[in-house]
């Protein structure tokens, strides 16, 4: 089921960037302590307390009873200037109730959230406003983005990993990936050969029958692709590449955007290079490269210092290519 909000990924690099963007303002305000709302506010609060060299405390919030209490054994000194940290200012009451709790105890409190939007019950003093149509997605609550989790009203009865949403690549996983040169030399014949292939003998050890399939095949191949899937009992949603949006060379981006738009938490990809690029563009999703027998978890982050070295070498001497060890 496709949702109306696209996931806006906050991997830990983005969390750190959001925190450190505000550090100069916070230093001018002269806070005495950082208070996190456990658990979503803990990661950014640790970063803030470290950057500001301030003590860190935390609150606990019981959502059903709207009850606030100290999560840490100690509390800030009376009258302290507090920076209250949470991951998101949502439509719920967590941030409002925690702010009132601190105010009632005599603290001067300002709030920081990693994300908020027009529907937030309380707008923070500091934070990142989400673009329209986007929903924040945090690594410490990966499964909270899924429709299955949303149906619980934020009160899940099962462990959160039970609400994961998986999707899978097609060629190279469900069936053999034919060599590209065959398509170049005889497209019609190769497509017919592909249509006749049986499912792979070795498949990921999970129920694949109802998983969403996100493929780089162009939309024009939908009929024959759906026919193969129906014939072999794969009934999940089929997401194909719209050539007006993404070229064949942009297949990894097409897959990453489909993962984010459909709020999938896990994806299995058959090509290593694509798996890395998908992981870079959808950083909170768990991406796995399927090598034919094993699914390997991958992570991809930019290495700007290496890119900078590359560009420096190029500009210093256009006659010399960068050393092979630095090529990325």
Mean pLDDT of the chain: 90
Examine residue 130 and state whether it is found in any structural domain, yes or no.
yes
| Among 67-71, 239-243, 270-274, 313-317, the least confident range | 313-317
What are 119-159's pLDDT values in tens digits?
A: 899 999 999 999 888 889 899 988 988 889 888 887 888 88
Examine residue 36 and state whether it is found in any structural domain, yes or no.
yes
What are 179-212's pLDDT values in tens digits?
A: 989 988 999 999 999 999 999 999 999 999 999 9
> 204 and 125 share a domain?
no
298-306: long-range contacts at Cβ-Cβ below 8 A with a sequence spacing of 24 or more?
Answer: 298/272, 300/276, 301/11, 301/13, 303/328
Domain, as residue range, for 42:
6-137
d(CA 296, CA 248): 24
> 223 and 177 share a domain?
yes
Question: Domain containing 188 — which CATH number?
Answer: 3.40.50.1000
Which of 210, 182, 211, 185 is CA-nearest to residue 194? 182
Examine residue 156 and state whether it is found in any structural domain, yes or no.
no
The last residue of one of the domains, among 86, 121, 137, is 137
Please determine, for residue 323, whether its predicted confidence score (pLDDT) is greater than 50.
Answer: no
> 178 and 225 share a domain?
yes
Secondary structure of the chain: what % helix, strand, coil (to 5)? 40, 25, 40
Q: 0.85 exceeded by the pTM?
A: no
**Contact between 246 and 277 (Cβ < 8 Å):** no
> 114 and 217 share a domain?
no
> 190 and 253 share a domain?
yes
What are 227-248's pLDDT values in tens digits?
A: 999 999 999 999 999 999 999 9
> 56 and 172 share a domain?
no
> 259 and 209 share a domain?
yes
Question: Domain containing 94 — which CATH number?
Answer: 3.40.50.2020
Helices (H), the chain: 12-29, 42-52, 94-104, 147-150, 180-185, 187-195, 222-231, 251-261, 272-281, 304-316
Q: How many folded domains does the chain comprise? A: 2
> 19 and 73 share a domain?
yes
> 212 and 131 share a domain?
no
Which of 95, 86, 83 is CA-nearest to residue 39? 86
Examine residue 194 and state whether it is found in any structural domain, yes or no.
yes
Examine residue 314 and state whether it is found in any structural domain, yes or no.
no
> 55 and 177 share a domain?
no
Q: What is the pLDDT of residue 20?
A: 95
> 176 and 129 share a domain?
no
Examine residue 12 and state whether it is found in any structural domain, yes or no.
yes
Examine residue 247 and state whether it is found in any structural domain, yes or no.
yes
Examine residue 313 and state whether it is found in any structural domain, yes or no.
no
> 214 and 109 share a domain?
no
d(CA 313, CA 320): 8
What are 101-129's pLDDT values in tens digits?
A: 999 999 999 999 999 998 899 999 999 99
């Amino acid at each position: 089921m496709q949702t109306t909000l696209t996931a806006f990924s906050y991997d830990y690099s983005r969390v750190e960037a959001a925190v450190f963007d505000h550090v100069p303002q916070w230093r001018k305000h002269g806070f005495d302590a950082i208070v996190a709302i456990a658990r979503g506010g803990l990661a950014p609060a640790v970063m803030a307390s470290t950057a500001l060299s301030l003590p860190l405390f935390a609150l606990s919030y019981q959502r059903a009873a709207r009850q606030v209490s100290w999560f840490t054994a100690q509390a800030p000194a009376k009258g302290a200037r507090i920076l209250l940290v949470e991951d998101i200012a949502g439509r719920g009451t967590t941030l409002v109730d925690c702010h009132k709790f601190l105010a009632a105890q005599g603290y001067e409190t300002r709030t920081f959230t990693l994300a908020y939007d027009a529907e937030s019950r309380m707008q923070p003093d500091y934070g990142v406003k989400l673009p329209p149509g986007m929903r924040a997605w945090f690594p410490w609550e990966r499964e909270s983005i899924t429709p299955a989790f949303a149906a619980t009203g934020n009160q899940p009865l099962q462990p959160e990993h039970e609400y994961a949403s998986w999707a899978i690549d097609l060629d190279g996983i469900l069936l053999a990936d034919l060599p590209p040169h065959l398509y170049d030399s005889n497209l019609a014949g190769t497509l017919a050969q592909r249509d006749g292939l049986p499912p792979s003998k070795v498949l990921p050890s999970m129920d694949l029958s109802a998983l969403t399939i996100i493929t780089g095949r162009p939309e024009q191949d939908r009929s024959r692709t759906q026919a193969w899937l129906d014939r072999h009992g794969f009934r999940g949603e089929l997401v194909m590449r719209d050539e007006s949006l993404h070229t064949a060379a942009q297949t990894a981006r097409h897959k990453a955007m489909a993962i984010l738009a459909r709020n999938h938490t896990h994806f299995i990809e058959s090509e290593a290079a694509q798996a890395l690029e998908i992981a870079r563009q959808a950083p909170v999703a768990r991406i796995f490269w399927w090598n034919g027998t094993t699914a390997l978890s991958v992570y991809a982050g930019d290495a700007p210092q290496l890119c900078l070295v590359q560009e420096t070498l190029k500009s210093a001497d256009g006659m010399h290519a960068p050393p092979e060890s630095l090529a990325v």
